[in-house]
Amino acid sequence: MPQFDYNQPVWRLGQRANARTANSDSYGNELFRQVTTVTAGGNTGGTYTMQIAGEEGIYQVSVDLPAPASPAAVAEALALQILDDPDVLGLLVDFAYVPAAADFALSFADRGAVYVVTFPSNPGGDLTQALTQAPGGTKVPLGVGIVQGTEAFIGKLPDGATTDADFRGIAVLNDDADINSGLPGDFSGYSPGFEMKVANVGDWIVYSETAVAKGGDVYMRITAGPTPDLQQLGAFRADADGGRAILISSLKFMEFSTSAAGLALIRANRP
């Protein structure tokens, strides 16, 4: 009877490729707070009511202003009511009132939670709102590049402003899996708010958008391309794609060359 399994291991995206020295850090996939900006315009006057509905309940503030009521007066009156209401303030992590713009921004404390802001009483439609930042975030798939986020040990997908210095590593499987480990079949990436394993040293399985050459340079996508197969930010490839991808100096394609897009092995050696 054979003592070992001699079958060729099946590569999986984000998996550790071999037993070479490897290292990874933990980064959170940022879960964004909702930020809603309320702006006053017009000078109708009357009773203005703003209502906020969330999981905690329904809260509202109201002001009565005689006509004509300038936008600045409406915004200031509502801002003062909010600052005087502990229940509404309890929903917020930040409240930014800008008198010159006659507006204020409501930054909700509960990350990922959805709040519905309405105006049950809004003379002349003077009050409007805009969703400055939507709650939630972006799922990070396995095998893509991660860059520094807005806070320490918060990671994110790259964007058009990303540089080589921003690169932190590769999003990989959240275990110490070597090539034959059993992996959950439905695990395809990290949802917002979850901790990510980000590898910066070692050999890892990724998807390359292009054919690769053994020992070749690795580029990371920072801007979406023109076709559906070139949309994933953080994806790796062997060229700059007309400036849509940047060279990552701490990565190399290793072990073998490929003739088309597909799974590839990257060696990471970020100091």
Distance of alpha carbon 83 from alpha carbon 177, whole angstroms: 52
Task: State CA 35 to chain mean position distance.
Answer: 15
142-195 per-position pLDDT tens digit? 999 999 998 888 999 999 999 999 999 999 987 544 444 444 445 678 999 999
Distance of alpha carbon 119 from alpha carbon 20, whole angstroms: 60
Compute the Cα dihedral for 151, 152, 155, 156 and give only its sign. Answer: positive
- Side chain identity, residue 99: P
pLDDT the model gives residue 10 = 66
Q: Which domains does the chain show, CATH number per domain?
A: 23-30+138-269 (2.40.300), 35-133 (2.60.40.4390)
pLDDT the model gives residue 185 = 46
- Side chain identity, residue 82: I
CB atoms within 10 A of CB 14: 24
223-252 per-position pLDDT tens digit? 999 999 999 999 999 999 999 999 999 999
What phi, psi does 106 have (nearest 5°)? Answer: -100, 110
- Whole-prediction pTM: 0.78
81-140 per-position pLDDT tens digit? 999 999 999 999 999 999 999 999 999 999 999 999 999 999 999 999 999 999 999 999
